[in-house]
Structure 1
């Protein structure tokens, strides 16, 4: 397992994260476990030989199946996993877990050559099944720290891991992380294919973590993961809630359904302790529905006095902020800081801190509370670089790449820029295709209200017409410009590479450039075809081309392939049709 193992398929990634030694479980034991937990399994063929078969792994992807695996065949959008049972069988599958339709497909293709365990809720049953096979229980370890919410999950998990690593490394114990950007076990990492892997892979990772002596792991938990039962069978030492704002309504349909999906993580059967940021009504509702040990945290400028912990005395510290955590019940006061800009990163750091302080009360991390407080006050665990999250690429002008891709995240990012900038704010935004289209006009309106120069370009169009996506953003931007008499400069420029070049072209040293929406991503998806582009690299390249200074840890760039191109007329070869569109409207404050 290494960082060099990039570009892996989901199947290859699954194999990389398999533990070396697995005790496993018999089919008979698995059926008994599923029966005892309410899944009412039906197994065929019935018999001693079938029951004694030992399962030593689990996989959903037929290409990832290994010898002795339980093949979990679920119904997908285009096909049923059972359609690929021969591939799984040839790879060594020892049994199949599936639904009624899948069981029929298996029998049609292979008869009774392999035990089939039939349940009605396959996705949900996959987690407990894999947990039994890999030996995962509520106390087996590692201690899991799960973070959910609309915004801030990635940064909070990076902060969590940094703090945990600061605490555990002196005890010769490792930490892990599972998230959008990477999956890590100790010092070894590979890129992640989704925010939260499937349940069978997560349980495999837990066993691998134990082999690597990983004592604690930080994990992003998306609403998709909860809704699709990817976290089924896992038990969290502490779960944290950041916030809830409009996003993913293409999946959930309404904010109420979105909230319900998130709330499922905070049930006592899944999570021992919960730490909930209560800066708005959604947070207080989450704290009310959470069961088990619930701790509330207020991070707003005027913190709610009813919260258990509050953030106070926020002050500038280099590019970031120093702050104090106060406990309403004990009077405890802890001074800490974060090197990342923005008040929202104070909230992310505070959540990570309180989650670990809460774990000290309920989890055997093997560290004292005094060690945690010393780490928070002296070790600076929250001054780290998080890929694509308020990542500083240039210094004069300040040039930042951020993952902000919904209205609330945009507001937070632009507020952070306004608090430190003395010049114009130049913003490049887009929106993903085949996603919640209702948020696009709001994002366009927010952009022209809060930035001085807005360039609307492309994000990941997926299968949608890029021009149609930009039109949604432009609709909201133009309405706000007209209704509110704004003098913001508004441009539409495609492809994105030209938009980045334009942002740097119009910038002066005192300005702030923000590339929003893509963060750490290194490809754009145009109708299923991936086109390489990394905002961080291209921004660094454009800054150096103009002679602007870049941050010490900004990406290194090769000789600029665009040096001899005229950005106003020449095509940039990073979109399928090499098309460049540029229109401008509104005033210019420069």
Structure 2
């Protein structure tokens, strides 16, 4: 990985500049050489942040961090016993304080980049990836933080979260600055806004793609989910741009309180960036964008919106419209996003897609319906993850059965739930008229093989839900599993 030019060290006083300190015990003139939210990583010179998480409360580990040598503790509640060798900083929200302190610790790297955040239920990864590919092709050195992977120029760094924690995030941005990147493009999840992972960052722009039913297991209500997404735009500075999808019914809500310059993109109405669909086929999209007719390699109306978002953001960053469209016309999408995998003998057209929400699945199946030939069957393999929003399970199954000729209901990442129970909840949503259109195959590998086995020549097999993921999560264990590789295995086994 691109190294930092030096290991940062700061006086605690300098890191607290943007933090609202409620109470302090000990000196602010102590040296901080490391930040952590994991007590096991504490050592001399460490500032430990006690965060209240979903599964654990960091306040329970303050003693362990101090025992390992932590010189600073940032917390919302002071421990009963205070060490004279430690400076305790009490704040209203430890995660918020960590965001500001991490940004200061790494020298506010986001201010030295043109950082653009992408938020929304669907399309974040595709838009961030296309932005990175576009600016790289245009000769810039750019960074990317996405669900699929992080990148510093051409260097690829595995991603573990859609948005890393504030410490890791600022470290990655600082490495981008050290590598002489000028731009960075990142997905901004709803979790990251609520958990203050992006607090303290300076954005040059924000993009909103769309908003649909997702993550209600975390946010509780759809209204909270909307507020989380909107919170990102509320934090943008006046120097930034805020670009929203005017065709999404909540698109304009995102702009209500933002200080940023407002811009819109649309396929249906007047907007800052206007697109019109000319043709949508298996060969790609033909669009009219701001008066220019362009052929793109991406497929589907949902990708038309992604392309408009990328084009709009690039021009707002100062790029020439015609040059942007020329480069965009030759780009492909992110891995596992409507990724075609045709069998060697071309008897099956496989498509692997990350669609794991009802809206995303409907978009993909609608796109396939638009480009399929009359003689092609659509067979959909789909599952639902365990320990997540259960309300979407019957909806996903209903969509798969209604919009496909055949469906194979299976597992996704069951986590700690019984896959058969998840399948029962999915089946409850299937309409009586579609009862004969589906099979249940709990084992995902067997489900993909089954879909290929029942496919006729030239049929389309959609494998939805996991996309780029290369694992299955079962009972706390991650085992290797890649839908794309399993699809290829099925082709070989069945001589397709």
- Normalised-by-shorter TM-score class: over 0.9
Poorly superposed stretches of 4+, deviation over 6 Å? none
Looking at structure 1, the residues matched to 236 and 125 of structure 2 have their Cα atoms a distance apart, in angstroms, of 24
The answer to whether the aligner puts 1:304 opposite 2:235 as a matched pair is no
Looking at structure 2, the residues matched to 269 and 535 of structure 1 have their Cα atoms a distance apart, in angstroms, of 38
The 8 Å contact of residues 148 and 159 in structure 2, kept in 1 or not, is answered as: yes
Looking at structure 2, the residues matched to 68 and 205 of structure 1 have their Cα atoms a distance apart, in angstroms, of 21
What do residues 81-140 of structure 1 show as CA deviations (whole Å, max 9, x unaligned)? 24434654576644221111xx316x45xx1212121111111111111111111066x3
The 8 Å contact of residues 206 and 236 in structure 2, kept in 1 or not, is answered as: no
What do residues 67-90 of structure 1 show as CA deviations (whole Å, max 9, x unaligned)? 633221212344432443465457
The 8 Å contact of residues 31 and 41 in structure 1, kept in 2 or not, is answered as: no
The 8 Å contact of residues 147 and 153 in structure 1, kept in 2 or not, is answered as: yes
Looking at structure 1, the residues matched to 43 and 367 of structure 2 have their Cα atoms a distance apart, in angstroms, of 49
Q: Which residue of 1 aligns with 2:313?
A: 355
Q: Which residue of 1 aligns with 2:113?
A: 142
Q: Which residue of 1 aligns with 2:104?
A: 132
Unmatched 5+ stretches in structure 2: none
The 8 Å contact of residues 501 and 542 in structure 1, kept in 2 or not, is answered as: yes
What do residues 482-524 of structure 1 show as CA deviations (whole Å, max 9, x unaligned)? 2xx3486210012111101001101123210000011111221
Q: Which residue of 1 aligns with 2:356?
A: 405
Q: Which residue of 2 aligns with 1:75?
A: 52
Looking at structure 1, the residues matched to 195 and 301 of structure 2 have their Cα atoms a distance apart, in angstroms, of 32
The answer to whether the aligner puts 1:323 opposite 2:291 as a matched pair is no
Query: Which range is displaced more, 111-120 or 74-83?
Result: 74-83
Change (3 A) 1:244 1:380: closer
The answer to whether the aligner puts 1:430 opposite 2:383 as a matched pair is yes
The 8 Å contact of residues 338 and 382 in structure 1, kept in 2 or not, is answered as: yes
Q: Which of the residues 158, 177, 185 maps onto 2:129?
A: 158
Return the offset for 1:63. Answer: 3.9
- What secondary structure does 2:251 align onto? helix
Q: Which of the residues 464, 467, 470 maps onto 1:519?
A: 467
- What secondary structure does 2:116 align onto? strand
**What TM-score results when the alignment is normalised by the length of structure 1?**
0.79
Query: Which range is displaced more, 508-517 or 290-299?
Result: 290-299
**What TM-score results when the alignment is normalised by the length of structure 2?**
0.93
Looking at structure 2, the residues matched to 487 and 431 of structure 1 have their Cα atoms a distance apart, in angstroms, of 19
Return the offset for 1:193. Answer: 0.9
Change (3 A) 1:221 1:270: farther
What do residues 209-250 of structure 1 show as CA deviations (whole Å, max 9, x unaligned)? 110111111101111111111111112111100101111111
Looking at structure 2, the residues matched to 63 and 335 of structure 1 have their Cα atoms a distance apart, in angstroms, of 57
Looking at structure 2, the residues matched to 404 and 66 of structure 1 have their Cα atoms a distance apart, in angstroms, of 43
Q: Which residue of 2 aligns with 1:345?
A: 303
The 8 Å contact of residues 294 and 329 in structure 2, kept in 1 or not, is answered as: no
Aligned length: 490
The 8 Å contact of residues 524 and 533 in structure 1, kept in 2 or not, is answered as: yes
The 8 Å contact of residues 468 and 482 in structure 2, kept in 1 or not, is answered as: yes
Q: Which residue of 2 aligns with 1:183?
A: 150
Q: Which residue of 2 aligns with 1:167?
A: 138
The answer to whether the aligner puts 1:247 opposite 2:247 as a matched pair is no
Looking at structure 1, the residues matched to 22 and 180 of structure 2 have their Cα atoms a distance apart, in angstroms, of 35
Q: Which residue of 2 aligns with 1:373?
A: 322
Q: Which residue of 1 aligns with 2:485?
A: 537
Query: Which range is displaced more, 280-289 or 388-397?
Result: 280-289
Q: Which residue of 1 aligns with 2:180?
A: 213
Q: Which residue of 1 aligns with 2:255?
A: 287
Q: Which residue of 1 aligns with 2:14?
A: 29
The answer to whether the aligner puts 1:497 opposite 2:464 as a matched pair is no
The 8 Å contact of residues 455 and 493 in structure 1, kept in 2 or not, is answered as: yes
Return the offset for 1:286. Answer: 2.2
- What secondary structure does 2:168 align onto? helix
Q: Pairwise mapping of residues 458-473 of structure 1 onto structure 2 (< 5 A)?
A: 458-473=411-426
Return the offset for 1:428. Answer: 0.4
Looking at structure 2, the residues matched to 487 and 74 of structure 1 have their Cα atoms a distance apart, in angstroms, of 48
Unmatched 5+ stretches in structure 1: 2-16, 327-332, 361-368, 549-590
- What secondary structure does 2:384 align onto? coil
The 8 Å contact of residues 126 and 333 in structure 2, kept in 1 or not, is answered as: no
Change (3 A) 1:487 1:86: closer
Q: Pairwise mapping of residues 223-242 of structure 1 onto structure 2 (< 5 A)?
A: 223-242=190-209
Change (3 A) 1:166 1:391: same
Return the offset for 1:431. Answer: 0.3
Q: Which residue of 2 aligns with 1:447?
A: 400
Q: Which residue of 2 aligns with 1:558?
A: none
Return the offset for 1:345. Answer: 1.0
Change (3 A) 1:355 1:181: same
Return the offset for 1:280. Answer: 2.8
Change (3 A) 1:87 1:509: farther
Looking at structure 1, the residues matched to 33 and 486 of structure 2 have their Cα atoms a distance apart, in angstroms, of 46
Return the offset for 1:269. Answer: 4.2
Looking at structure 2, the residues matched to 336 and 197 of structure 1 have their Cα atoms a distance apart, in angstroms, of 36
Return the offset for 1:33. Answer: 3.6
- What secondary structure does 2:161 align onto? coil
The 8 Å contact of residues 151 and 242 in structure 1, kept in 2 or not, is answered as: yes
The 8 Å contact of residues 287 and 296 in structure 1, kept in 2 or not, is answered as: no
Return the offset for 1:472. Answer: 1.3
Return the offset for 1:383. Answer: 2.2
The answer to whether the aligner puts 1:44 opposite 2:44 as a matched pair is no
Query: Which range is displaced more, 211-220 or 201-210?
Result: 201-210
